[in-house]
Amino acid sequence: MLTFVPLTGFLGAGKTTTMITTAAELERRGRAVAVVTNDQGTELVDTRLARSRLDRVAEITGGCFCCRFENLAATIRDLVDSGEVDTVIAEAVGSCTDLQATVVRPLRRFYRESVVVCPLTTVVDPLRYQAFARATERGEPESELSYLFGQQLAEADVLAVNKLDTISAEQARTLLARLRGDYPNATVVGYSAATGAGIGELLDAWTGPSGNEAVELGVDYDRYAAAEAQLAWMNQDLELAAAAGWDATGWARAVLDPPLGLGRTSGSARRARQADRRTRSGNLRQSQPDRGGRSADGRSLPRHRHGHRRASGDQRPGRLRARGAGRRRPRRGPARRPGHRGVVLRHRPGVVQTGLPHPGAPTHRSRFVTRTKGRPR
C-alpha cells in the first residue's frame, strides 16, 4: 500500500519547505518517498528546489489538483506500479481549496485497494493568519482572498502552523489555542520547516484520524474564482555573475523588494514572491508575501514580511529562478542591486513566463460530497 499525504495552504505558507523537510525525515526513518509539486505555470520554482534536495520528484502543471485530478491519479498509479516508492507527499497550488471533495474522497473511493490517504493538511503562515484576523476584528468586509484562506482552514484535518521561529513563544501558544478552539475537528500542530523543530509532531498527526473528512464547505465558486483572478504568477530563469564571493541571502532580499526588483507590482495585486538560488554550497529560497496596502475597493491588505533562507559559505556564480504572484513590470537588461556591487543579474530571453488568470468557476470531473452518515455520493 502506498501512503499519500495531501498538503494545501495559502501562498507563501511554506508548503514546499514542509514537503522537503518531512520527506527527508521520512527517508531518514527508512521510507521511500516521492513528492509532487503543483502550480498554474510550468517552469516551477518548487520542482527545481525539490529536485535539488530529493531524488524522486514529479509535478502537475497547468492547474490545481482539483482540476487536474486525472493527472494526479495517473502520477500516483505510476509510482505505485514502479514499486520503488511507499510514500507520496503532494502540495497543491496555494490558490486551491475544496480538496476534501475533489481529491481526498475520490482517491479513497477509487484507489482504496492500493492507496492510504493521510489526513488533509493545511499549512498555515502565522503572520498571514494574524493579518487576516486583524482585518476581521476591525469589522472589515471579508475580501475574496480572505474567503479563500478561510476555506482552506475549514476543510483541514490537520492545521500545521509553520514558521513558529518567526513569532514569540507566547504568540505561538495563543495562536495554537485559538485555532484549536475555532476548528475543533482538526488536529493543530506547530513547527518550523526551516529549522526542523516540531516536525516529528507533524508526522505523528499524519498517522492519526481524519477528523474533518465529512466536512462540506459549500464553496461559493464565484468567490473562489474571483480570489484566483486577483492572483498572478511569474516564473523566470535568471543568471548571476560575480567576480568574488557575495551574500546570496541579502541579494535575494533585494531582488524581491518591490521598489527595486522582481517584486515590483502595479495596481492592487496581492503578491507572494519566491526565489530559489542554487549555489555550489547550498540552495537558497526566500518567500516574501505582500507588505500591505489598499485594494481597489478600499479594503486593507495584510501587512507583513517574512522569509526563510538556506545557504552557506561564499556564493559563486550561478542561476536563480524566481516566481512571483502579482502584476509584474518587467525589468530589462543587466541590473545591479544596492549593497551588492559586482553582482550582475541578466534576464535570459525566452524563459519568462507570466500569467494573470481570470477564470470562471472551477469545474471538476470528480467531486464527492457526503450524506448525513458521511458516506460519499
Split the chain (377 residues) into runs of 10 and give each run's mean pLDDT. 96 94 97 93 80 92 88 92 94 93 93 94 96 92 94 97 96 97 97 96 96 90 87 65 70 60 37 45 48 42 34 36 38 41 52 48 57 44
What is the rounded distance in angstroms from the CA atom of residue 73 to the CA atom of residue 79?
A: 10
- C-alpha angle 76/79/84, rounded to 5°? 155
Per the rule left: phi > 0, alpha: psi between -120 and 50, beta: everything else, 333 is left
Closest CA to 368 of 155, 68, 103: 103
What is the rounded distance in angstroms from the CA atom of residue 21 to the CA atom of residue 309?
A: 13
Rounded to 5 degrees, φ, ψ at 109 are -80, -45
Angle between helices 126-137 and 144-154 (to 10 degrees): 120
Which CATH number does the domain 2-226 belong to among 3.40.50.261, 3.40.50.300, 3.40.50.12780, 3.20.20.70? 3.40.50.300
Closest CA to 90 of 189, 43, 42, 23: 23
Instruction: Give the H or E element holding residue 102.
Output: none
Q: Give the residue carrying C-alpha cell 474564482.
A: 225
- Specify which residues 287 forms β-bridges with: 274
Work out whether strand 344-347 and strand 233-241 pair parallel, antiparallel, or are unpaired: antiparallel
Q: What is the DSSP letter of 119?
A: P
List b or e across 57-85, with b for residues whose CB sees 16 or more CB atoms inside 10 angstroms: bbbbbebbbbbbbebbbebbeebbeeeeb
What is the rounded distance in angstroms from the CA atom of residue 180 to the CA atom of residue 368?
A: 27
Is residue 175 helix, strand or coil? helix
pTM above the 0.85 mark?
Answer: no
The C-alpha cell of 196 is what? Answer: 526542523
The C-alpha cell of 19 is what? Answer: 514537503
What is the rounded distance in angstroms from the CA atom of residue 255 to the CA atom of residue 309?
A: 14
What is the structure's pLDDT at 97? 92
Closest CA to 239 of 319, 315, 316, 317: 319
Q: Is the dihedral of CA 58, 221, 230, 133 positive or negative?
A: negative
CB atoms within 10 A of CB 360: 10
What is the rounded distance in angstroms from the CA atom of residue 112 to the CA atom of residue 204?
A: 21
What is the structure's pLDDT at 221? 87
What is the structure's pLDDT at 62? 86
Work out whether strand 293-294 and strand 233-241 pair parallel, antiparallel, or are unpaired: unpaired
Angle between helices 144-154 and 221-229 (to 10 degrees): 120
List b or e across 312-348, with b for residues whose CB sees 16 or more CB atoms inside 10 angstroms: eeebeebebbbbbbbbbeeeeeebebeebeebbbebe
Q: Where are the domains of the chain?
A: 2-226, 232-355
Closest CA to 167 of 201, 126, 195: 126
What is the structure's pLDDT at 292? 45
What is the rounded distance in angstroms from the CA atom of residue 277 to the CA atom of residue 345?
A: 12
